[in-house]
A and B are shown apart, each in its own frame.
Chain A
Amino acid sequence: MDLSIFLIQTMNGVQYGLLLFLIASGLTLIFGIMHIINLAHGALYMIGAYLAWWLTSQVGNLFLAIVLALPVTVAIGIVIERFLIQTLYKRDHLDQVLLTFGLILVFDSLQSMTWGNDVHSVPMPEILSGSIALTDTLQYPVYRLFVSVVCALIALSMYLVIQRTRLGMIIRAGASNREMVQGLGLNIRNIYTLVFAAGTALTAFAGMIAAPISSVYPGMGSQILIICFVVVVIGGVGSIKGAFLGALLVGLTATWGQILVPEFSGVVVYALMAAVLLWKPRGLFA
């Protein structure tokens, strides 16, 4: 195989991995801090993508669409947490699975009722639609680089917020001992709402910026959800560091798999997961 193709696939893999991290970090944060398994996480990714497509077609610009759509997804997150997830904190995982699976069905139907079942594509923003010449014959699209940079910046700022700010300290404290945090006079319910809304916004944002690269279609949520489960299982449940490395590993494996073993490209990431489970049954960083 050509070295330059390998390089391009590696860059694609890193970009895919960084995007996966945005989604998986929300999933793992919500579990790590609130002890909630949210199957509807992927559905919110899909809602983000559909909002980006629909608003872009209305206002003509993806960035403006994202600015308009983000508050909507935050509001969706707050409503879901306040009215549904809050009843689940004292229930077991099974009720969480059932309720959030019900949410998937609801979101999927709402999507098909509102926007239909066609596959859509979102035009790239004009200024980012060019390519950079890597060699004389090979080019790499600017938009993919842009996605990688944005995702990396968000990952970095998440790390800084959680590790270096007072809010991050409270979140970490809430993860380890919720009663103690309440005893110190902090309202843990608001923190849970904040974390859930932030997780929702992260995954929806991932859906929005990914929309010009991958098309927008029904069922895209479940597909990405399961890949993110693989990421979380590989990285270790509740670990942000694990989610980051797991996402990059899965992103690279998936893109390399497509060129090395195209006939089994659907299965390679799961084979990776099985191998990790054999070696470390609780994930790499649990």
Chain B
Amino acid sequence: MRSLPTPIRALLLTLTVLAALFPLYGPLVAGDAYDFYLQKVTGILILCILAVSLDLLVGVTGMVSVAHAAFLGIAGYTLALYAPEYEAANILTALPVSLAAAALASLVIGLLIIRTGGIFFIMATIAFSQMIYYLFHDADFAGGSDGIYIMVRPALIVGDTEILTFDNPHTLFYVTLGSLVGIYLLLRAMLRAPFGRVLAGIKENENRVQALGYNPVVYKLAAFVIAGTLAGYAGFLTASQYGYMNPAQLSWTLSAHALIMVIMGGLGTLFGPILGAFALEGLHYVFASWTSHWELLLGLVAIGIVLLLPGGIAGLLLRLCARSAKAAAPDTGEPAGTPAPPRPVLARTPTTTATGGGALKMAANKEKS
């Protein structure tokens, strides 16, 4: 993964600082609605974690998963089931248990579907996502369709001292923001490492990666489990924030919304999906304040992105940077600092040919028989 152009780095840094200072200026700007907005922003930051981890699959490795929210839901439900009824669950034990549940679920589902690709992978992820939805929807121990409550929010307790508690919205806000920054930097480092290069190679051409001596299945499965576990972390935070889990939080529609965030923000850029999450949730909030039929507007936005904004917000920003860098140094051609156009965004190769031709194969078989 290439290093980012300076203006984009500056933008991301500014946005992070702006977010971190929100509790300082928020009450002045929002007044009485501050508590609501703090909760809203925390919720969006959690969705950012979901979107960034999905980008590892979709944008980097080229695996279009529509089951990502299932792992968020599984970890959230695990916390709800693990937490004692009338006291706070200790993050020290509850977090590993929740993450392990998400990791295990993604490993099992991953093992079943990782060998498939293209459209088959998409359909299978949607179907498994729905299976998990029904498992929790029909399960009495998990509250069925009503969902399940977490009466007391988790706290970090070492020995007998409570170090922090998610009961405090500011604590949860800063933990979420810090986690997002940490996960983003971790994934960036991972993509620079050989592991990430193999993943990017798989997206470009899986057969060549195999010819180079790597086993693509192992790498894809590893990416699926890492991304699923990170989605589980987002689920742990979601359950901690709302104190409530219901089957809608593991439905495939939430996964599809996360996909919109990734695509709207910019595929394979990692920072794009964060911008996409804020953009989509912002639009959602604005539309919902206008009309009860906000889904119509959101649907039109999704269609509009496909038709008008390939590469998403990040693609647009990277193109702008590339253009201004060129304008600044017209004679030197391509100086070392010039950011190359974002290849993974622009050079989208159609993957259809690999899986196509099924209908004729069927037809040929029929004629033979």
Contacts and interface: CB of A to CB of B under 8 A. Distances in A.
Interface of A: 28-29, 31-33, 35, 37, 84, 87-88, 90-95, 97-99, 101-106, 108-110, 112-113, 162-163, 171-173, 175-176, 222, 226, 229-230, 232-233, 236-242, 263-267, 270-271, 273-274, 277-278, 281-283, 285-286
B361 interface: yes
Contact of A267 (B58, B124, B138): B138
Contact of B127 (A171, A226, A237, A242): A226
Given A32-B359, A97-B64, A98-B263, 9 more contacts: A28-B358, A97-B66, A101-B256, A109-B295, A171-B359, A222-B253, A233-B124, A237-B120, A270-B131
B253 A176 contact: no
Given A93-B351, A237-B358, A274-B112, A104 B366 contact: no
B358 A236 contact: yes
> What 10 pairs between A and B have smallest CB-CB spacing?
A238-B358, A32-B359, A105-B299, A102-B302, A270-B131, A266-B134, A109-B296, A176-B360, A35-B352, A106-B299
29 contacts: A35-B353, A37-B122, A88-B306, A92-B351, A92-B352, A93-B118, A94-B259, A98-B302, A98-B306, A101-B299, A102-B300, A103-B299, A109-B296, A110-B296, A175-B359, A226-B126, A226-B130, A229-B124, A236-B358, A237-B123, A237-B358, A238-B359, A239-B359, A241-B365, A241-B366, A265-B138, A267-B131, A277-B116, A281-B115
If over half of A's interface residues share one DSSP class (helix, strand or loop), that class is named, otherwise mixed; here it is helix
Contacts of A31: 119, 358
A28 B310 CA distance: 27
B348 A93 contact: no
Interface string B251-292: 011001001100100010000000000000000000000000
B359 A104 contact: no
Interface in B294-348: 295-296, 298-303, 305-307, 310, 348
Nearest to A286: B358
B24 interface: no
B295 A105 contact: yes
Given A102-B302, A281-B116, A285-B362, A108 B295 contact: yes
Nearest to A265: B138
Contacts of B120: 233, 237, 282-283, 286
